Amino acid sequence: MKKRLNERPDGENESGRTKSGLALAVLAAVVVVLGLLGWFFVPAAAQRFAAPPVITFGIPSEPPEPTAESEPTVEPAVTEPSVAPSPTVTPELPATPEPSHYPADGDITEEIVFALADEVIAGLGLDGLDGEAKVRKIYNWVKANVNYIPDSEKIGVLDGAYNAMKKKRGDCYTFYAIGEILLTRAGIENLMVERDSTRSNHYWSIIKIDGLWYHYDATPAKPARDTHCFTDAQAVSYTNLRGGWYYRYDHSLYPEVYWGEVKTFIDPIHDPEPTEEPEITEEPAPELPANEPESDDEPPLILSEPSDEPADIGESDAT
């Protein structure tokens, strides 16, 4: 019986050896796998859970030594000193000429007339004078250098002024034109005034001195009078003397001219003899023609019957 228990068939012994070999093979495979896992993960875990470096305040810590995996240190680029750009020099451009105020009259241009006028102004010695004194010098020059003729071409201001300075003659428009150019070049503000009458044309200026407007008229007329700077009252007085039409104009088209007091018209240079100035009458004015309406803002002009006598030579009645 004992012998039977210890004895096993040959098939059973062979099966046991096969199982033992398989177990050993599995065990070896497990060991290999664990070894590979340890080779990959153990260094990373050790680095992860390593103690942090000790930081000592006040003592600069030494920089860590570069490892094989550290990127190479990039040296900062050397910046060259910046050079300030040189300032841009803008070339000076010529001044833009002012637009021409007077259109050319044929070949007579503004440049030609202004050059002639400036020569006259330079010879008058206007520096340091007030406005009224400048006007008087210009007025005296015109009276002494331009001769009156009954009629002349009225092409334009430039042509009229040019004829006054070169030909030395002209009608009332010529006297007005040379006055405007000389007054303008002397810095005196002025405007042209045209007679509002059906009898004849007449041209003169109003000028601004010390903020007030006055009349200016260098055209010769009789009786002689100083009209380089006269008031509206003087204009009305002379108009009454000449029959109510001489200085008649549409006041609504111009600035208000200073009324002032009536003074005796005396030209001390050209007419040393004083002439009596009539007083402004208080009589009511006769009814005016339909084309010459009466202004409510100005005193009425005292009209008289126009004279049948021919106009005196030198007067500006039919310019």
Residues 37-60 have pLDDT tens digits of 766 665 555 565 555 555 555 555
pLDDT per residue over 118-172, tens digit each?
999 999 999 999 999 999 999 999 999 999 999 988 999 999 999 999 999 999 9
Q: Give me the amino acid identity at 221.
A: A
Whose CA is closest to 125, among 116, 138, 142, 109? 138
State the Cα–Cα distance between residues 289 and 126, nearest whole angstrom: 45
State the Cα–Cα distance between residues 55 and 74, nearest whole angstrom: 25
pLDDT per residue over 193-239, tens digit each?
999 988 889 999 999 999 999 999 999 988 788 999 999 999 999 99
Q: What is the pLDDT of residue 290?
A: 39
- Is the N-terminal amide bond of 223 cis, ω within 30° of 0? yes
Q: Compute the average pLDDT of residues 275-304.
A: 41
- Is the pLDDT reported for residue 8 higher than 80? no
- Is the pLDDT reported for residue 274 higher than 80? no
- pLDDT confidence bin for 80, thresholds 50/70/90: low
Instruction: Give 183's contacts (C-beta < 8 A, 6+ positions apart).
Output: 135, 138, 190, 205, 207, 216
- Is the pLDDT reported for residue 264 higher than 70? no
Q: What is the pLDDT of residue 275?
A: 40
Q: What is the pLDDT of residue 106?
A: 87
- pLDDT confidence bin for 263, thresholds 50/70/90: low
Cβ–Cβ < 8 Å for 119, 212: no
More confident site: 272 or 210: 210
More confident site: 199 or 179: 179
Q: What is the pLDDT of residue 47?
A: 60
Q: Provide the angle, in degrees to the nearest 10, between the axes of the packed helices 110-124 and 172-185.
A: 70
Q: What is the pLDDT of residue 125?
A: 95
- Residue indicated by tokens 């100035």: 277
Please, is 160 exposed, middle or buried when counting C-beta atoms within 10 Å of its C-beta (0-12, 13-18, 19+)?
A: buried
- N- to C-terminal Cα distance for the chain? 178
Q: How big is the CA angle at 266 (ends 260 and 271), to the nearest 5 degrees? A: 165
Q: Compute the average pLDDT of residues 254-266.
A: 78
Q: What is the pLDDT of residue 89?
A: 58
- Is the pLDDT reported for residue 246 higher than 60? yes
Q: Compute the average pLDDT of residues 176-188.
A: 97
State the Cα–Cα distance between residues 36 and 46, nearest whole angstrom: 16
Q: Which of 30-39, 112-121, 187-196 has the lowest mean pLDDT?
A: 30-39
Q: Which of 103-117, 233-247, 256-270 has the lowest mean pLDDT?
A: 256-270
Cβ–Cβ < 8 Å for 178, 169: no
Sheet holding 203-209, edge to edge: 190-194, 203-209, 212-216
Mean pLDDT of the chain: 74
State the Cα–Cα distance between residues 49 and 142, nearest whole angstrom: 115
More confident site: 25 or 200: 200
Q: What is the pLDDT of residue 292?
A: 39
| Distance set, CA 214 to CA 35, 98, 208, 249 (Å) | 123, 28, 6, 14
- pLDDT confidence bin for 13, thresholds 50/70/90: low
